[in-house]
Amino acid sequence: MTPAIPARGPGKPEETTIATAVLFDVDGTLVDSNYLHVHAWRRAFHQLGRDVDSWRVHRAIGKGSGKLLSTLLGDEDADRIGDEAKELHSRFYLEMAELLRPFDQAPALIRALAAKGVRVVLATSAAPDELDALRKVLDVDDVVKDIVAGDDVEATKPDPEPVQVALEKAGTAPEDTIFVGDAVWDVRAATKAGVRTIGVLSGGVSAAELTEAGAIATYDDTAALLADLDGSPLGTLFG
């Protein structure tokens, strides 16, 4: 449990509060980008002479790029052409950056949580140039406590390391933290780190799959989650 933080005010008796946090995945959760990633990967594979069905690419979105490549190409080809595939994917993805947009009410949800004293940390596998594009469209840097990106960890989702690093950045205990993500890989990573997860359907994964992976609740998107903010599991962090 995170140590209690003294909260004092003039003329008020000493009381204690517990620091709480929400960790957000970005792609497919806060920003409408998953299908841009699918198209960028498909183009990259095609250029390298490997045709991979789009649905298979989509099913792997949310994993770190190394795990995604091993899943789709096999370990041998991932080692042989993986670096080139990553470079092509990033180039094709950034060519479509003008199509990036935050999901409805995504920035408002982050600002509402921050206004209630909840610490917000973004946890993404994005490379630096991709992260810059995501941060630009979200425009919430002023209220986000910290960001964990692909370069900050050695193991990517569904490994728990990204969530564990995000917890360290937030300075909160797992039981005082909730993860919000769109992929089963988010849920599995958070669960391994002892963090409850809310799933959103905006990344194209069903509520049944997210629930089976361990999500404690599911919502269509960030707008639906904001509309039920007080009644959702997030409400336990500030209620």
CA dihedral (194, 2, 236, 137) positive or negative: negative
Euclidean distance between CA atoms 205 and 76, whole angstroms: 28
Q: Check residue 143 and give its pLDDT.
A: 98
What pLDDT is attached to residue 17? Answer: 53
Query: Which residue type does 132 have?
Result: D
SS3 (DSSP) at 21 = strand
Is the Cα torsion angle 163, 167, 170, 174 positive or negative in sign?
positive
Per-residue pLDDT of the chain (239 residues; tens, 9 = 90+): 333 333 333 333 333 458 999 999 999 999 999 999 999 999 999 999 999 999 999 999 999 899 999 999 999 999 999 999 999 999 999 999 999 999 999 999 999 999 999 999 999 988 899 999 999 999 999 999 999 998 899 998 999 999 999 999 999 999 999 999 999 999 999 999 999 999 999 999 999 999 999 999 999 999 999 999 999 999 999 97
CB 73 within 8 A of CB 51: no
CB atoms within 10 A of CB 160: 18
Amino acid 181: pLDDT: 98
* Strand ranges across the sheet with 119-123: 146-148, 119-123, 21-24, 177-181, 196-200, 217-219
What are the Cα distances from residue 39, in Å, to 32, 35, 53, 126, 174?
13, 6, 10, 16, 35
Location of structure tokens 């799959």: 209
What's residue 13's pLDDT? 35
pLDDT score, position 150: 84
Whether 184 and 178 have beta carbons less than 8 Å apart is answered as: no
Whether the full predicted model's pTM is greater than 0.75, yes or no, is: yes
Residue type at 61? I
pLDDT at 239: 76
Residues 114 and 41: their CA atoms lie apart, in Å, by 34
pLDDT for res 6: 34
* Residue 81 CB contacts under 8 Å (≥ 6 apart), including other chains: 48, 50, 73
**Could you tell me which of 171, 139, 135, 163 has the C-alpha nearest to residue 26?**
135
pLDDT value at residue 28:
97
Q: Are 175 and 194 in contact (CB under 8 A)?
A: yes
Contacts of residue 144, Cβ cutoff 8 Å, sequence gap at least 6: 110, 114, 120, 121, 122
